[in-house]
Amino acid sequence: MSLSPHLWFQGQCEEAFTFYARLLDGQARMLAFRDTPMAQSVPAAWRDNIVHASLSFPGGTLAGADVLPEHYQRPQGFAVLLDVAGAEAAHRVFNALAEGGSVSMPMQETFWSPAFGVVVDRFGTPWEINGQAGPGA
Task: Report the distance separating Cα 54 and Cα 52, nearest Å.
Answer: 7
Task: Report the distance separating Cα 52 and Cα 29, nearest Å.
Answer: 8
Task: Report the distance separating Cα 120 and Cα 103, nearest Å.
Answer: 6
Flag whether pLDDT at 81 surpasses 60.
Answer: yes
Q: What is the pTM of this model?
A: 0.92
Instruction: Answer yes or no: do 84 and 57 share one domain.
Output: no
Flag whether pLDDT at 58 surpasses 80.
Answer: yes
Chain mean pLDDT for the chain: 94
- Domain range for 86 is 80-132
Task: Report the distance separating Cα 19 and Cα 7, nearest Å.
Answer: 14
Flag whether pLDDT at 32 surpasses 90.
Answer: yes
What pLDDT, on the 0 to 100 scale, is given for residue 136? 46
In a domain, 98, yes or no: yes
Question: What total number of domains does the chain contain?
Answer: 2
Residues near 69 by beta carbon (within 8 Å), at least 6 away in sequence: 10
Flag whether pLDDT at 38 surpasses 90.
Answer: no
